A and B are shown apart, each in its own frame.
Chain A
Amino acid sequence: MDFLNALILLLNYIVVPALSYGSQLALGAIFVTLIYGILRFANFATGDMMSFGTMFAVLLTWYFQSLGISLGVLPTALLTIPFAIIMMILYMLTIDKFVFSYYRIKKSPPVQLAMVSIGVMFVTQAIVRIIIGPFDRRFFDGERFIIKANEFKEMTGLNEGLSIKSTQVLTIIITIIVVSILFWFLNKTKTGKSMRAYSDNEDLALLSGIDPKRVVMITWMIAGILATIGGVLYGLDKSFKPFTYFNNMLPIFAAAIVGGIGNPFGAFLGGYVIAFSEIFLTYAYKKFFTYVLPESMEPDSLIQLLSTDYKFAVSFSILVIVLLFRPSGIFKGKVL
């Protein structure tokens, strides 16, 4: 029995990956929840908007690399995020002006807007594929690892190594910074409060003199920041492939709904709930039990509840269970 090795094993294969994957989902889920809370529709173009923003980061990374600009040990892509965000926001505001605003002014039902967003999704997908193509792109540069598995083994003398990728740490740190700024903005500034008021009671917000156009514009700007940062972090950690981003929409929506749609803090926590569930249920625990159980009881099989191919089934099941038993989300608290 060797609990320390078992613990490192879980840290290495479950906790660290789930924290970074959860952060990426959390950013997307807050994006979904903000659009739902303020513009009042489920934005099915979420995944593809994230890939649109990331595409600019990838293109600019290549450009910066060709100019010889780099951040040393950090990925060059971090430098490109502000520019990619600007492109993303411009795209979102253009789409809003030419597509969504028409239905908003007509006061179309939310389902109609959701359908419209599916149209936006297809168009966005096509644009991304025309510009950068459907292939898998890696745009990470700089130092890959903060701690390598064999270095860790040498340092501690344990059998199990703990490897921590720089992208995982970057993801977690940047997510915490972005989310903290967002919550400060929503709760402490006049503009942020007016957005929450608009989301809470649109008619009364109008009677109080809150300008709906400004609220909508700022919502898209925040959405653009969240979509681009979330997309770039995911792309750095794994790779940039437009189809994967489209696929990520399911866990992102699951996270937003688990947290109670319209509730940004719930969406933030929901990201981690989904990420941990996916990884917990698809991890093969054979080695873990080899460490924990006495030799006579060592398992023969992989002890894997679900094959990793089924990881989307996990988010989907959580989604269905939450909608059946706690449709307002598992976290109590204020909306937006």
Chain B
Amino acid sequence: MAFFEGQNMTGGYGGADIITSCNIDVNKGEIVAILGPNGAGKSTAMKAMLGLLNLKNGVVKIDGKDISNLSPQDRVKEGISFVPQTRNVFTGLTVRENLEMGAFLRNEKIDKVIKEIYDLFPILEEKKSQLVGELSGGQRQQVALGRALMIKPSVLMLDEPTAGVSPIVMDELFDHILKVKQTNVAILMVEQNAKQALSISDRGYVLVTGENKFSGTGEELLNDPEVRRSFLGA
């Protein structure tokens, strides 16, 4: 049994079901990518696991504990952290304040955790008193990652972390995500840049019209002729 898993998830935003019988799981120290064409329900599957939409069917478990009925805020307390695709930083706050807000639920001294985040993303220490709204796209993504890591999550979910950043920044971000993986966090990410995402992922799921179509290790998926033809475009 995996550390964090969504089993048999079915649901949508009120109208038709966007995901049907979708299964996703991730273990600690593992990066799992959710891939698929536009409208396949990738983000929806992730949001279902975060509790942002009501499931008609299926359960979400962390460490064997059923959290299907918890609100997103309560899931944060269970150690699940989420980085949205857009508006994922407080632009009017400084870098340090962003990190402090990430640790809002922690009552102990957070200086030590902030130090750890600075070690992971050295640029943030340099810019700690600057408003996040004045940072570049890549730096903002680091702030967003840092904010999410402040609760010391056991699961980190990333919704298209590389959307809208340049290829160079994208490589840099993937490096950062690999560093986060080494801290024994379970990482689940939705990605458009499938090839690059699979190259750093341990496993991947390909969703099509809300259902699991393929799954396997990054390498298997990259080499699967059917996946390549229908989806990777090569």
Contacts and interface: CB of A to CB of B under 8 A. Distances in A.
Contacts of B89: 201, 204
A208 B104 contact: yes
Interface in A322-336: 334-336
A195 B85 CA distance: 23
B72 A207 contact: yes
A200 B90 contact: yes
Contacts of B222: none
Interface size class of A (residues with CB under 8 A): 10 to 19
Contact of B92 (A194, A208, A335): A335
Interface in A144-203: 190, 193-194, 196-197, 199-201, 203
Contact of B131 (A199, A203, A207, A334): A334
B86 to A, nearest CB: 10
- Interface centre among A193, A196, A335, A336, by most B CB within 10 Å? A193
Nearest to A209: B105
- Interface centre among B73, B76, B84, by most A CB within 10 Å? B73
A200 B91 contact: yes
Nearest to A211: B73
A205 interface: yes
A193 B76 contact: no
A203 B101 contact: no
A197 B90 contact: yes
A209 B150 CA distance: 12
A132 interface: no
A203 B84 contact: yes
B176 interface: no
Interface residues of B, number: 23
Contacts, number: 62
- Interface centre among A201, A205, A210, by most B CB within 10 Å? A201
Interface string B95-113: 0010011101100000000
Nearest to B97: A193
A210 B92 contact: no
A210 B93 contact: no
Contacts of B90: 196-197, 200-201, 204-205
B47 to A, nearest CB: 11
Nearest to A212: B73
A206 B82 CA distance: 11
A208 B102 contact: yes
Nearest to A206: B73
A336 to B, nearest CB: 7
B77 interface: yes
A313 to B, nearest CB: 34
A196 B133 CA distance: 14
Given A208-B147, A209-B73, A209-B76, A196 B92 contact: yes
B145 to A, nearest CB: 13
A200 B87 CA distance: 10
Contacts of B93: 193, 196-197, 200, 334
Contacts of A203: 84, 87
Nearest to B75: A207
A225 B69 CA distance: 40
A336 B104 contact: no
Given A207-B72, A208-B147, A201 B105 contact: no
A207 B100 CA distance: 13
Contacts of A190: 100, 104
Interface in A298-336: 334-336
A190 B106 CA distance: 11
B110 to A, nearest CB: 10
B88 interface: yes
B106 to A, nearest CB: 9
A197 B84 contact: no
A209 B87 contact: no
Interface of A: 190, 193-194, 196-197, 199-201, 203-210, 334-336
Interface of B: 72-73, 76-77, 82, 84, 87-93, 97, 100-102, 104-105, 131, 133, 147, 151
Given A193-B100, A208-B105, A209-B76, 17 more contacts: A193-B97, A196-B92, A197-B93, A201-B89, A201-B90, A203-B87, A205-B90, A207-B72, A207-B76, A207-B82, A207-B84, A208-B76, A208-B147, A209-B105, A210-B101, A334-B131, A334-B133
The 4 closest A-B pairs by CB, nearest first: A209-B105, A200-B92, A200-B90, A334-B92
18 contacts: A190-B104, A194-B104, A196-B92, A196-B93, A196-B97, A197-B90, A197-B93, A201-B89, A203-B84, A204-B84, A204-B147, A205-B90, A206-B73, A207-B82, A208-B102, A208-B104, A209-B73, A334-B133
